[in-house]
Structure 1
């Protein structure tokens, strides 16, 4: 019976997918003016990944020291493309072609012009990238 169960697990598509994930964190930066792009420090996999590893899903959580300015936008960027995020925390699938190893960085922008009454400090960017190693 035990061998039968093991055989079923090994035949499962999930077992063959060789999925994994990694997490990282970086400092976000300080926004003092509207209409300026603030870029976070890059985040990448703490260990080397297979060259065939493909990013599939991302979870993120961003901690700030205050309220966001009018028209505040967040983008998650890889070396090849950027993805607009719908809020300061969440999860979503990643488009095909994004490297699983990173580096990833966050970009912050506000459509409001001029100096912000209170500067916004992005204290941390937390990210978890799920990936697949296709066979």
Structure 2
């Protein structure tokens, strides 16, 4: 009987040792959601550098897992180009919403910036209002 009780105790201790790192990893994950201010993009040869998006201080030691984005325009603007930038790394966005793992492993403490360009074309649209923008950063820290 004592042997069974001892074996059961070891199973509980072993289970706690195995589960503990998993619980810590789970607790260290998070999501930072950033609603972005609207901006007007005018026709230009150069991209417009948007507002710098500063992460909260609580992400100082965190690293990025995944980044998602969404934005809308007030009028159809098929020629509109967009990039998501962090420091010197800029990723061309392939749509008005999506997700990427290209920022994975980078510091979540570094600011982001959405950049837009409305190239000079003859499509009749000389400005577009970008609104309902949101950045969602999944991080581990």
Kindly indicate which of the two structures has a greater share of residues assigned to helix.
2
Residue number among 29, 50, 63 corresponding to 1:40 in the alignment? 50
Task: Determine the structure 2 residue equivalent to 1:132.
Answer: 140
Q: TM-score, with normalisation over the residues of structure 1?
A: 0.75
Partner residue in 2 for 1:103: 111
> What is aligned with 1:66?
75
Query: Please, what TM-score do these two structures have when normalized by structure 2?
Result: 0.72
Moved more, 4-13 or 17-26: 4-13
Matched residue SS, 1:102? coil
1:117 matched to which residue of 2? 125
Matched-pair contact (CA < 8 Å) for 1:69–1:112:
no
Retained in 2: the 8 A contact 1:77–1:105? yes
Give the deviation of 1:89 after TM superposition. 0.5
* Secondary structure of residue in 1 paired with 2:20: helix
Q: Size of the alignment, in residue pairs?
A: 131
Q: CA deviation at 1:104?
A: 0.7
Over aligned residue pairs, what C-alpha RMSD do you find? 3.1
Could you say which residue in structure 2 is the equivalent of 1:93? 101
Q: Deviations over 1:51-81 (max 9, x none)?
A: 3x211210111122111142x2210001231
Superposed displacement of residue 118, structure 1: 4.7
**Pair 103,124 (structure 1): closer, same or farther in 2 beyond 3 Å:** farther
Classify 1:40/1:56 alpha carbon distance in 2 versus 1 (closer, same or farther; 3 Å).
same
Change (3 A) 1:111 1:16: same
Bigger CA radius of gyration: 2
Partner SS, residue 21 of structure 1: strand
Output aligned runs, 1:75-90, within 5 Å: 75-90=83-98
